[in-house]
């Protein structure tokens, strides 16, 4: 069984607690307008790494001393597109005392995807928007599965960090943020909310792939709008 991997990062500091080995899986069923990794979308694209779980673990273990207080994060793309590989890899990590974090949109709610959760210490759940009308326009899919996934994590008592990208004029609107914060405040397993300002660092990838950039003209998020969003979530008692 082989995992199709887009890239590896050995000293990640922004994808979960501590210093982490980060695995970017290939393939994603969403098409977020602000995605800065469009090169991960196509599952059939050539990738530099096609590894068995044991081979990927061997790569991780080369850095074990550095990630001892951190761990491994698997992101993408959408990691749960390859659930059998992921379950085997996370199991090996935990057997070797390595903390496991899964970064996902929560879109894939299959039985096989839920089985991966048996070996996950932390989920970084990307909630794209709480606005059910905007969600399909923003991502190409509805928000229902993400909420089902969140409920599953709550029921299984798996710690969750919510991630939310703030795009000016699209997902930084007060009313929608307020509704999301209120909704999340009912979930005991949500430990933290990470508000990620929209940036344009991935635009060159669209040019290289010959895909029109859908948010052309959208400016990066201002400091004021970020602080405004942070204040809304703090008001509801969230650690930011
Ligand atoms: S879920 Fe992530 S990888 Fe997939 S399109 Fe959205 S931002 Fe890009």
CATH number of the CATH domain containing 13: 3.20.20.70
Q: Which of 33, 67, 12 is nearest to 135 (CA)?
A: 33
pLDDT digits (tens, 9 = 90+) for 213-226: 999 999 999 999 99
Is the pLDDT higher at 124 or at 201?
Answer: 124
Integer Cα distance of 28 and 40 in angstroms:
7
Residue with token string 């597109």: 81
Q: Is 31 in the pocket of ligand 1 (CB under 6 A)?
A: yes
Report the distance separating Cα 138 and Cα 31, nearest Å.
Answer: 8
**Is the residue at 240 inside a domain?**
no
What is residue 115's predicted lDDT score, i.e. its pLDDT? 98
* 37 ligand 1 Cβ < 6 A: yes
Calculate the CA 62 to chain-centre distance: 24
Structure-block tokens of residue 155: 């029921």
How does pLDDT run across 97-144, given as a tens digit for each residue? Answer: 999 999 999 999 999 999 999 999 999 999 999 999 999 999 999 999
Residue identifier of the C-alpha nearest atom 2 of ligand 1: 77
Across the chain, mean pLDDT equals 97
Query: Which structural domain, as residue segments, surrounds residue 93?
Result: 3-235
141 lines ligand 1 (CB under 6 A): no
Q: Is residue 114 part of a domain?
A: yes
Atom of ligand 1 nearest to the CA of 126: 1
Residue 111 counted as domain residue: yes
């Amino acid at each position: 069984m082989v995992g199709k991997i887009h890239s590896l990062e050995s000293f990640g500091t922004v994808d979960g607690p501590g210093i982490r080995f980060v695995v970017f899986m290939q393939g994603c069923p969403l098409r977020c307008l602000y995605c800065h990794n469009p090169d991960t979308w196509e599952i059939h694209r050539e990738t530099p790494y096609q590894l068995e779980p044991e081979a990927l673990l061997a790569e991780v273990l080369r850095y074990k001393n550095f990630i001892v207080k951190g761990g491994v994060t698997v992101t993408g793309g959408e990691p749960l597109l390859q659930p059998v590989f992921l379950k085997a890899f996370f199991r090996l990590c935990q057997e070797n005392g390595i903390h496991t974090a899964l970064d996902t949109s929560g879109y894939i709610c299959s039985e096989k995807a839920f089985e991966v959760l048996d070996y996950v210490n932390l989920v970084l759940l990307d909630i794209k928007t709480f606005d059910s009308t905007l969600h399909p326009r923003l991502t190409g899919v509805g928000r229902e599965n993400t909420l089902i996934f969140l409920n599953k994590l709550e029921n299984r008592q798996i710690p969750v960090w919510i991630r939310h990208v703030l795009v000016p004029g699209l997902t930084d609107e007060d009313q929608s943020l307020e509704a999301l914060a209120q909704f999340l405040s009912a979930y005991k397993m949500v430990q933290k909310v990470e508000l990620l300002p929209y940036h344009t660092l991935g635009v060159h990838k669209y040019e290289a792939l010959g895909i029109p950039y859908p948010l052309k003209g959208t400016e990066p998020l201002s400091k004021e709008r970020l602080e405004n969003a942070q204040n809304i979530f703090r008001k509801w008692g969230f650690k930011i």
